[in-house]
Amino acid sequence: METISVSSPRRRRLATMILTAVCLFWGATFLLMKLGTQSVFAVFGSDWKVAGGAFFLLVRFALAAAMMPLFIPQSVRRCDKAAWKNGFWLSMVFAGGFLLQIFGLTQDDVPAGQSAFLTSLYVVSTPVLSSIILRKWPSRGVMLGVALATIGAAFIKGVPETGLSIGAWATIGCAVVFGGHIVLTDVFTRRSDALALTFTMLVWSTLWMALALALSPDAALALDVSRLGAVFSSTMFWVTELLCAFLATVLALSMLNVWQKELSPSRAAVVYTSEPVFATLLSLGATAIIGGIIPQEAHEHFSWWLVFGAAMILLANLSAEFVGRPAPKTDPTA
């Protein structure tokens, strides 16, 4: 059985709130990625999807790595051999998950509802991997939360589509890899300084994205100076890149690496399922306010499935936090 966290209930709840804020930042990246990659595809063409995604992530992680010394200087000062080594291993699953996610999203045969469900499977893969790697099994409350969160994330955009294509299998692989990232974050943030680990992971991830871009179809287009100039002159490209780099990468990953270890990996995975809720709510707001400048496929419309999915995810977090927790000890002499 998974042991109860040594953290106090107050620190666990603070960690839950901070990781929920991380999900808010991540939820915003769905729309930002759509807008940013639209600027790339407008120059390089819509067939440059895989390379375009790797290109966007390469710039995002490079900017984030450069921002770390500016905004969190201790992340560089605290770097040591262990931070570089652990950051390397953590970056492999981190970058690998992003690349699998991008490949799945670029396939025309993966509907949005199916993608949302398959990506949410990391909430299932995390306790399985945790039991294998850490030899710990989640508590009853967390397991109930896993079930509720899976249902909520699956149906938040309606009944999920059936049938598995190569893009769908890539998305399943992404969910498994992200589950591994959650477990390994718990391991490595206990061995290295969390902020130093964030910096080294971003440096390594930048190199992985450069390699992915080099191996992508039509990668040679990235050397076209005129096209690069057109992309880099786009205000939308830089606004989305800078927001993704600072909010969803520097700030979010630093908060995650510092605070996730206060929760079990399985409990953290349940918290992270609030990301699609924020993504949908932010997309609803953007559709209503600036719908004219965002791509049609990014438009969001209200559905009672959103209410159902959000309610299931809320119940999942309440279950993981309160069900199966030992009652507080009382002083018999009181």
Tens of pLDDT, residues 148-159: 877 877 776 677
Which residues are CB-contacts of 87 (< 8 A; sequence separation ≥ 6)?
188, 192, 196, 197, 199, 200, 201, 203, 204
Tokens of 236: 């939308």
Average pLDDT over every residue of 50-66: 94
Q: Residue 301 carries which DSSP code?
A: -
Task: Dump pLDDT digits (tens) for 252-271.
Answer: 999 999 999 999 898 898 88
pLDDT-based confidence at residue 330 (cuts at 50, 70, 90): very low
Per the model's pLDDT, the better-predicted residue between 104 and 243 turns out to be 243
Q: Give pTM, 2 decimals.
A: 0.83
Cα angle: 168, vertex 172, 175; to 5 degrees: 140
* Helix axes 112-119 and 81-105, enclosed angle (nearest 10): 150
Task: Dump pLDDT digits (tens) for 13-23.
Answer: 999 999 999 99
Other C-beta atoms closer than 10 Å to the C-beta of 46 total 10
pLDDT surpasses 70 at 81: yes
